[in-house]
Amino acid sequence: MFEVVRLSKHFGGVTAVNEVSFSVNEGEIFSIMGPNGAGKTTVLNLVSRFYDVDEGTIQFAGEDITHAPPHEIARRGIARTFQNIELFERETVLQNLLIAQYIHRKTNIFSDLLFLPRVRRQEAQSRRFLEDIIDLLQLQRYREQQIHSLPFGVRKLVELARALCLKPKLLLLDEPSSGLNPEETEDLSFWIEDINKELGVTILMVEHDMNLIGQVSNRVLVLASGQPIALGTPVEVKDHPDVISAYLGT
C-alpha cells in the first residue's frame, strides 16, 4: 500500500539518503532502524514532504505523492509524530486534538463566522470522536491541561493521540521511545500494537530501541550512512553480519 522507490536526498555534498527502496504492506508494523546519522528521520521527513525529494518516488494507496505539498499528506491519510514533539504548547490537550479534526471539517469560513447549527453539530461530533482516542490512550485526566504543564511522557502520548485524530491509514512514528523510561516504553509497545490491531492503522516507525522493534515490528529495514543494508524480520536482521558491523564498527 505504501512504496518508496530509489529515494535519495542530498544536503550540499552529503548524501543523507541514498537510493532507499522499501514497501509497507497494509496492516503491517514496519520499522526503520540504524545508528545515529543513518538518515532514518530524513526518510520520514521526505515522506511527510518537509524535505523535497531529490530522486526517486513515493507511492501511497496507488497514488504518487512524491511532489504533493506537505499539507496534502495528512489529507491522503498519512499522520506523523515528531522526534522532539511539536505540539501547540499554549493550548490544552483537547484543543490540540481538535486541531487534528481540521481536515475532516465540512464547514467553511462563512459558516464558522456565524457558527451555524452545522458548525455546532460538527464541533460536538468532533469531540465525541476525540473521546474514543482519549479513552484508548487513557488521557482523560489531562484533557483540560495545557501542554507545557505536562511531563514529557504524556506529551509524547498526546502527540500520538493527535496523529490518530487525523484518522490516518498510515502512521509515521519518529523515534517514539526517545526520552521515555523503560516502563513508559513498555506501555508504548502495547499501545502501538493496539493502534495497529484495533484501529487497523498501518505503522511505519523510525526507532533505535531494539527491544521495542523486536516486540512490535513485523519487518525491519536497517540503514547505515543513508544506505539500506538489511531487510527482514527483527530476528533475521539482528544477526545480520552487516548490521552488527554497522553498529559496532569493523
Residues near another protein (CB under 8 A): 41, 45, 48, 50, 69-75, 79-80, 82-84, 86-91, 94-95, 98-103, 105, 107-109, 111-115, 119-120, 122-124, 127-128, 148, 162, 166
CA distance linking residue 80 with residue 218, whole number of Å: 19
Q: In this structure, what C-alpha cell is assigned to residue 122?
A: 460538527
Least Å distance, CB 82 to another protein, is 5
Least Å distance, CB 43 to another protein, is 13
In this complex, which beta carbon is closest to another protein, that of residue 171 or of residue 243?
171
Looking at residue 139, the DSSP 8-state letter turns out to be: -
In this complex, which beta carbon is closest to another protein, that of residue 6 or of residue 106?
106
CA distance linking residue 122 with residue 246, whole number of Å: 51
Least Å distance, CB 109 to another protein, is 5
In this complex, which beta carbon is closest to another protein, that of residue 9 or of residue 80?
80
- Residue burial 11-49, b: 16+ Cβ < 10 Å; e: rest: eeeebbbbebebebeeebbbbbbbbeebbbbbbbbbbbb
Q: Is residue 148 within 8 Å of 92, Cβ to Cβ?
A: no
Least Å distance, CB 89 to another protein, is 6
Backbone angles phi, psi at 219, to 5 degrees: -135, 155
What lies within 8 Å, CB to CB, of 77 at 6+ separation is 60, 61, 166, 167, 168, 169, 170
**Matching residue, cell 545515529:** 36
In this complex, which beta carbon is closest to another protein, that of residue 70 or of residue 241?
70
Least Å distance, CB 221 to another protein, is 21
Give the bridge partners for 59, in sequence order. Answer: 3, 64
In this complex, which beta carbon is closest to another protein, that of residue 119 or of residue 210?
119
In this complex, which beta carbon is closest to another protein, that of residue 98 or of residue 213?
98
Least Å distance, CB 95 to another protein, is 7
